[in-house]
Amino acid sequence: MRIKVINPNTTAGMTATIAEAARGVAAPGTEILAATSPTGPVSIEGHYDEAVAVIGLLEEVRKGEDEGVDGHVVACFGDPGLLACREVARGPVVGIAEAAMHCAALVSVGFSIVTTLGRTVAIAERLVLAYGFERHCRSIRASDLAVLDLEDPASDARRVILDECRKAVEQDGAGAILLGCAGMADLARDLGAELGVPVIDGVAAAVKLVEALVGQGLATSKRGPFAFPLAKPYTGALRHMAPRAR
């Protein structure tokens, strides 16, 4: 099967990290197509970044449909535009935050999320509530690292994130840690070994969930709210985004 993994920010170096994590867990018969958003913010660290990033993300999902991929992964921990992506796609579309939360609930009692800047905590909090994981979530901790710090070897990001994870385990009662940014995907294995609890990278979790869904012959329901968007003209700079007649 072919799974398209989309980084909704425009930083290709982060897409490389995401692609490596995805390919590291993909089954032998799974091909990972990794894509970087063609337009928008270099990193997604707030509601405005998210809103603007969704356009490039949707362009890539529309291309993925033309390419005939079996499923998509939205590789940003805010799961931006996830429901809109589901309207456009035939196959499953899984966000890395929801994938990580579902997997955590299966292997631990209580999880904590370690995210980037403090301003992203509210985004994760809203997702915890939207997905119904409030009884599972012990804490959401900000590392105060900017997303692009994760790309910079001089930033000491690994140590800063490890410290925050340790506090989540020792002070908040977390049985598992969710890495709150796709750019942290390369840290999961190492941090898990050091902390002695499951450390879940949402990119890996989402790839395995798409494989599980496609493997069961499950696609996105086109009855109800995930039906294809209604065909109509769009005007102005976004006219190329107009839904196609079906």
Report the nearest approach of ligand 2AL to the CB of residue 181 (Å).
4
Should residue 178 be labelled a site residue for ligand 2AL when binding is judged by CB under 6 A? no
Q: How far apart are CA 208 and CA 23, in angstroms?
A: 11
Should residue 76 be labelled a site residue for ligand 2AL when binding is judged by CB under 6 A? yes
Helix (H, G, I), strand (E, B) or coil at 113: strand
Kindly tell me which of 91 and 180 has the beta carbon lying closer to ligand 2AL: 180
Q: Which of 182, 136, 141, 139 is nearest to 161 (CA)?
A: 141
Should residue 200 be labelled a site residue for ligand 2AL when binding is judged by CB under 6 A? no
Helix (H, G, I), strand (E, B) or coil at 111: strand
Q: How far apart are CA 179 and CA 63, in angstroms?
A: 28
21-45 residues labelled b (16+ CB within 10 A) or e (exposed): bbebbbeeebebbbbbbeebbebbb
Should residue 45 be labelled a site residue for ligand 2AL when binding is judged by CB under 6 A? yes
Should residue 78 be labelled a site residue for ligand 2AL when binding is judged by CB under 6 A? yes
Q: Whats the size of the chain, residue-wise?
A: 246
Residue in this structure with the two tokens 């959401």, named with its chain if needed:
140
Window contacting ligand 2AL (CB under 6 A); options: 58-66, 99-107, 112-120, 131-139:
112-120
Amino acid at the residue 79:
D
Helix (H, G, I), strand (E, B) or coil at 91: coil
Longest dimension (CA), the chain: 55
Kindly tell me which of 181 and 195 has the beta carbon lying closer to ligand 2AL: 181
Site residues (CB under 6 A) for ligand 2AL, limited to 25-44: 43-44
Report the nearest approach of ligand 2AL to the CB of residue 15 (Å).
10
Report the nearest approach of ligand 2AL to the CB of residue 117 (Å).
7
Kindly tell me which of 45 and 59 has the beta carbon lying closer to ligand 2AL: 45
Kindly tell me which of 77 and 111 has the beta carbon lying closer to ligand 2AL: 77
Q: Which two tokens stand for residue 195?
A: 């902390």
Report the nearest approach of ligand 2AL to the CB of residue 26 (Å).
19
Q: Which two tokens stand for residue 176?
A: 């598992």
Among 10, 116, 143, 220, binds ligand 2AL (CB under 6 A): 116
Should residue 128 be labelled a site residue for ligand 2AL when binding is judged by CB under 6 A? no
CB neighbour list of residue 215: distance below 8 Å, 6 or more residues apart:
1
Count of residues interacting with ligand 2AL (CB under 6 A): 15
Kindly tell me which of 78 and 110 has the beta carbon lying closer to ligand 2AL: 78
Residues that bind ligand 2AL (CB under 6 A): 9, 43-45, 76-78, 115-116, 120, 147, 180-183
